[in-house]
Each structure stands twice: as structure tokens, then as C-alpha cells.
Structure 1
């Protein structure tokens, strides 16, 4: 899992990326390509 400042750029790289808020943190998850997993901050 990568930790990045901007999740918006990661979201546009693949069409299956979803932005999800969990426990006050923002995550990008992708079921088909797990290498796009990321957390903000």
C-alpha cells in the first residue's frame, strides 16, 4: 500500500479505483488491480 498526498491522481489511473473513507482516513481500493491500493496522509 502506498501513502500519497493526492488520491485524485491515483483514482484516474484505473477505472475500478474507488475512494473510501474509513476511520477518518481516505483510501483508494481496487479489487481487480491491488497494486493501486493507497492511503492518504
Structure 2
């Protein structure tokens, strides 16, 4: 999956880009409010 330009991960602030279940997340352990998500393919039931 390509990373959208609107998702910005700043490593100096502790952001990490993580892939979970086909979605792309930006998570931050230092500042938990800095969260972002890029919608991936729809999950099959």
C-alpha cells in the first residue's frame, strides 16, 4: 500500500508507521493523541 501524502510521521516526535490488518497507522507511545490512520482495503467477513 502506498502511504498517502496526508499521513505524516515525524520520527523526531516518536511517531511509528505500523501496518495492521491491511491498514496503515501512525502511532506514538510518547504522545498518544498523535494518531493517524489510512484506510486500506475493506476487510472480508
- The unaligned stretches of length 5 or more in structure 1 are none
TM-score normalized by the length of structure 1: 0.66
Structure with greater helix share of residues: 1
- Higher RCO structure, 1 or 2 (CA under 8 Å, sep 6+): 1
After superposition, the CA RMSD in angstroms is 2.3
Q: Structure 2 regions of 5+ residues with no counterpart? A: 40-45
Runs of 4+, deviation exceeding 6 Å: none
TM-score (norm 2): 0.61
Give the number of equivalent residue pairs. Answer: 36
Larger radius of gyration: 2
Greater strand share, 1 or 2?
A: 1
